[in-house]
Structure 1
Amino acid sequence: MPAIVRAQESESIWDMFSRKRVLRDVDQGGNTAAAEALIATNEPILSYDTAYNLQLAISQYEPFVANGGWEEIPQEAYGLSLGKDGRPVIALKRRLISSNDMAIVENVNDLFDAETDRGVRTFQARHGLIVNGQVDEATWYALSVPAATRLQQLYLNFTRVQNTASSLSPRYVVVNIPAATIEAVNDGMVEQRHTAVVGRVDRATPIMASKISQINFNPYWHVPKSLVQKDLTKYMLENPNYLAEQNIHIYDGSGNEISPASIDWTNLGNAINYMYRQEPGAANSMGHCKINFYNPYDCYLHDTPGKELFGENARFHSSGCVRVDNVADLVSWLLRDNGDWDRARVDTTFASLERLDVECQARVPIHTTYITAWANRQGTVSFRDDVYQFDAQGKVTFEA
């Protein structure tokens, strides 16, 4: 018996040291870099090549789904992270192996080890989630989506991409709404990729094609009547100093400035009869620039003072327009045919707060799209949530 007890104690100590070694030796930063490298290629989300890559992904998913797809992930997997153990880890590993986020192994043990950490981070990168190696809420829900649903996304998006690819020019900008990203493409390669904030469900960003015509530097923001109705009157009732704090001035139809105190904010019909203009500056809702393109929706790209939203998983917060991270890079890319509009001049103009409108010599096409699944030539397949429920409706065309 003493020998058995010693053996049990020795095994327990070994397990403890094994887990400590896992936590100490795993290169989590390296795992994140490897995961992000799988998707950070220069291949566009929208192109002829994407359609071909989606076909290949479909050919791989079809037999897998026909055989039952991946196993359901148990609720106990929620909250798992590096160093954890138990049966839910086994289920997590099997799920990650099924979707090619982990390599196939002969025996699946119950330790959340280095390979599992990398697998979770790979899964998160492919699904546009914050890459932290933890089975957090967003990751757990994404893991819970059946393989058959993912295959249906591949079918729908193959048709969407195929329908649009024929109209693409060599140089274009793509706003992919479900991914909340922007790509600046030239000759089949992504030259810039930007994180974006797009319209929330009740104020969706419209899907359309146009051409970028003008950059407004340090613009005034004229508050749309819809926002006066839905938001501004409510804010003024809650805080009578709201307009002053946001540097917004009120004007009547003759251009005379009106005092906020003279308006009955409980009377919506009275409040919407005026024009509301926010001055250029740090608080301006469009930040340092507005990127214009013709459309009937009064939709545009713009900078924003609220940079913190770019770090979120689900970036669906706007009233339909699209906020652009690192917008100065995109502006200099759009103006590169205008002569000396390099990044340094863009930065200088931003800082000057000078009101300036610059016509774009190159009318670069822009496509706002709805692509919830795509693949690259490495075979990495990316998915996004069906935020506007267009997948659920089976929509593949979006004519107004």
Structure 2
Amino acid sequence: MHNNRRRLLAYPASFLAAAMMLAPVPAEAQNFFERLFGGGIKERRARDVRPEPQQRTKPKKRVKRVKISAPSYYTYRPDKLVKVSFSSLLEAPRETSFEPSLDNGLFDEAIGGLDGFDLRGSPDVAAALAAYYGENRAFIWVSGFSPNGRAAEAVRVLGEAADFALEPADYAVAVPAPGFSMDAMAARKAELIRFEMALSARVLRYARDAWSGRVDPNRLSGYHDFPEKPLDLKKVLDRLAHSRDVRAYLEARHPRNERFAALRVELEALRASAENDIVVDAKLLLRPGKSSPELPKMLALFARETDEAFRAEHAALLERHKESELYADELVPVVKAAQDFKGLRDDGIIGPRTVRAFAGESKAARIAKVEYALERLRWHPSALGSPRVFINQPAFTASYVEAGREKLSMRVVVGKKSNQTNFFYDQIEQIDYNPYWGVPQSIIVNEMLPKLYRDPAYLDRAGYEVTDARGRRIASSAINWGQYGGKVPFNVRQRLGSRNALGELKILFPNKHAIYMHDTPSKNLFQRDTRAFSHGCVRLADPRGMAAAVLDKPLDYVAAKIGAGHSSEKITRTIPVYVAYFTAWPDQNGQVAYHGDVYDRDRYLQKALDAIAAVRQPAG
């Protein structure tokens, strides 16, 4: 072998090249050359050869794309009424002795009158009646052979249910006449026992409606998320049986906060008022220097629909121009102040939004919005808490309230109609400074995945980090995104910096909807009147101010924390936060403002109320 190699190497290189070109290379020689030159010839040939079409590797099929859908609105289905069972009372042993002066004796004598009595109520009311009277064989609402004073007071309260935006027909009870014949004593006893049960059933319905509302909010849509607000109905009857003030007890079941009281005052005033006396062209568009016969009407509304402070500041100008159709330049500050009072963009142009804010809707529409607000407040705790943060989505505002006063109020951006902000309440727990943005799965699947199909490195370039379930960093470009159509088994977060969607800070109240308050680099959106642009979270116009308020710290403290880099801070106080939805809402002075129904939720609430009325008061 060594000799052959020496002989081969002795030949000139040109001779070897010529020999290789002129003669075919035997297999043994080919193997020899591969050993000698490391297989380079074979590798070069392999690189030069392209596979036949049928030999090409077929690309993997992309799985079918599945979008993560938003929560839906439901067809509201109220509880069906059930027949109250009196079997335990009818079958229980009765007292053998009867003294007419003793109400419990009369009760036992009258129980037979429940045989065949068709009284219907919701399942919880029916259960409470059976449980209470099974243990307490005595009248609450009857003394002797007539309804007592307690009954008279309860009937009056039920009849005034409309004062609380409830429906009096839901609680109507036929009251036995005061006179009766001793010859018809059996019929009288049956009438009294049936009145007793009917009044208890309607009182329980009223108490529960006052306490938690007629509508179960969680049956309206997937956007509504409220904890159960239980009320022990058996205990309610027990309290009423021993109460000296039935009215006070029943009315105390309603929310006991200043906003509920202000809405009741507004409801009473609206019902007593005439229909709108000033009607303005809804399509008015009036700029400074232009004229319109609608201007005097708007100036009159500016004076009437604001407050004393506004009127005191602008009274002279309003008086001087009250009959003028020319929008003079000196009126621009008045218009801007009026727009600001209503939470509108103060651009000084009197357009449809300004007209709607001041000329308002019809009397009936405003009454409906106040009634919806009273119903929605019943879904919340009776005492809203102090301090608290209150976000009203239709108003696009967030407020920090302490001791009944708004210490801070600001504009917010809420979810667009396809990404609605949920309706719930929670508790603020933490502030993150210079936060990362953990991208929700819905955004990854619905918005990022289509881009990643075309460009797997998109996230790497855009400033995002990708990690697997174990927290290991993975380059976006290294992932075959085409194999994921719905659930993506990776976490994506946006790195810190000026491009971060959360800006300088976020305020967390952990919830299953992944909603929180935060800063934003998109400051221009706060200048819009309608501010529904986010994916569901609440963007704050003054995030530092809100952070300082909930921390009870100065603004300089928050600025220093932001300047120090990424960190988190726990909130040590109890601060409830209401991510709320009220198209009519009073300010701290009781002045009620009306807002557009940005998510159409008033309509769904009305449909639920109609469904409940159909069950409680069936036609025919």
TM-score range, shorter chain: 0.7 to 0.9
1:387 to 589, 598, 603: 598
Q: TM-score, normalised by structure 1?
A: 0.73
Q: How much does 1:194 deviate?
A: 2.4
1:189-228 CA distance string (max 9 Å, x none): 1222222211222222222222111222222222111110
Q: How much does 1:387 deviate?
A: 0.9
CA contact (8 A) 2:299 2:322 kept: no
Residue 85 of structure 1 pairs with residue 312 of structure 2? no
Q: Which has the higher strand share?
A: 1
Q: How much does 1:63 deviate?
A: 3.6
CA contact (8 A) 1:74 1:91 kept: no
1:229 to 439, 445, 448: 445
Between 1 and 2, higher relative CO (CA 8 Å, sep ≥ 6) is seen in 1
Q: How much does 1:291 deviate?
A: 1.7
Q: How much does 1:146 deviate?
A: 2.9
1:59 to 268, 276, 282: 268
Q: How much does 1:109 deviate?
A: 4.7
Between 1:153-162 and 1:210-219, the stretch displaced more is 153-162
Q: Relative to 1, partners in 2 of residues 1:371 and 1:277: Cα closer, same or farther, differing over 3 Å?
A: same
Letter in 1 for 2:577: I
SS in 2 for 1:392: helix
Partner of 2:432: 216
Whole-Å separation in 1 of the counterparts to 2:467 and 2:388: 38
1:16-56 CA distance string (max 9 Å, x none): xxxxxxxxxxxxxxxxxxxxxxxxxxxxxx99333333333
1:213-258 CA distance string (max 9 Å, x none): 1222222222111110121224446777652453101223343333
Partner of 1:352: 564
Whole-Å separation in 2 of the counterparts to 1:110 and 1:188: 41
Q: Relative to 1, partners in 2 of residues 1:396 and 1:205: Cα closer, same or farther, differing over 3 Å?
A: farther
Q: Relative to 1, partners in 2 of residues 1:237 and 1:261: Cα closer, same or farther, differing over 3 Å?
A: same
Partner of 2:344: 129
Residue 326 of structure 1 pairs with residue 542 of structure 2? yes
CA contact (8 A) 2:428 2:571 kept: yes
Partner of 1:146: 362
Whole-Å separation in 2 of the counterparts to 1:174 and 1:371: 11
Q: How much does 1:385 deviate?
A: 0.9
Whole-Å separation in 1 of the counterparts to 2:607 and 2:426: 19
Whole-Å separation in 2 of the counterparts to 1:125 and 1:332: 24
Partner of 2:36: none
1:296 to 493, 501, 512: 512
Residues 40-189 of structure 1 correspond to what in structure 2 (within 5 A)?
Answer: 48-64=257-273, 67-70=274-277, 72-74=279-281, 78-89=284-295, 92=298, 108-113=323-328, 120-121=335-336, 124-140=339-355, 142=357, 143=359, 145-161=361-377, 164=380, 166-189=382-405
Whole-Å separation in 1 of the counterparts to 2:346 and 2:570: 39
CA contact (8 A) 1:128 1:384 kept: no
Letter in 2 for 1:131: D
Q: Relative to 1, partners in 2 of residues 1:56 and 1:233: Cα closer, same or farther, differing over 3 Å?
A: same
Whole-Å separation in 2 of the counterparts to 1:377 and 1:329: 19
Partner of 1:40: none
Q: Relative to 1, partners in 2 of residues 1:190 and 1:226: Cα closer, same or farther, differing over 3 Å?
A: same
Residue 314 of structure 1 pairs with residue 525 of structure 2? no
Letter in 2 for 1:82: P
Whole-Å separation in 2 of the counterparts to 1:78 and 1:312: 19
Whole-Å separation in 2 of the counterparts to 1:60 and 1:121: 28
Letter in 2 for 1:128: G
Q: Relative to 1, partners in 2 of residues 1:135 and 1:245: Cα closer, same or farther, differing over 3 Å?
A: farther
CA contact (8 A) 2:415 2:532 kept: yes
Letter in 2 for 1:74: D
Q: How much does 1:325 deviate?
A: 2.2
- Between structure 1 and structure 2, the one with the greater Rg is 2
Q: Which runs of 5+ in 2 are unaligned?
A: 1-254, 609-620
2:494 to 272, 278, 284: 278
Letter in 2 for 1:166: S
Whole-Å separation in 2 of the counterparts to 1:214 and 1:242: 32
Residue 206 of structure 1 pairs with residue 422 of structure 2? yes
1:314-335 CA distance string (max 9 Å, x none): 1111222212222122222222
Whole-Å separation in 1 of the counterparts to 2:430 and 2:352: 41
Partner of 1:255: 471
Q: How much does 1:81 deviate?
A: 2.6
Q: How much does 1:168 deviate?
A: 1.8
Residue 246 of structure 1 pairs with residue 462 of structure 2? yes
Between 1:168-177 and 1:80-89, the stretch displaced more is 80-89
Q: TM-score, normalised by structure 2?
A: 0.49
1:106-135 CA distance string (max 9 Å, x none): 984533357975775465345432122312
Q: Relative to 1, partners in 2 of residues 1:48 and 1:271: Cα closer, same or farther, differing over 3 Å?
A: closer
Whole-Å separation in 2 of the counterparts to 1:257 and 1:228: 17
Q: How much does 1:99 deviate?
A: 5.5
Letter in 2 for 1:243: L
Whole-Å separation in 2 of the counterparts to 1:81 and 1:294: 46
Letter in 2 for 1:344: D
CA contact (8 A) 2:460 2:477 kept: no
CA contact (8 A) 2:386 2:404 kept: yes
SS in 1 for 2:557: helix
Letter in 2 for 1:55: R
SS in 1 for 2:365: helix
Q: Relative to 1, partners in 2 of residues 1:69 and 1:266: Cα closer, same or farther, differing over 3 Å?
A: farther
Q: Which has the higher helix share?
A: 2
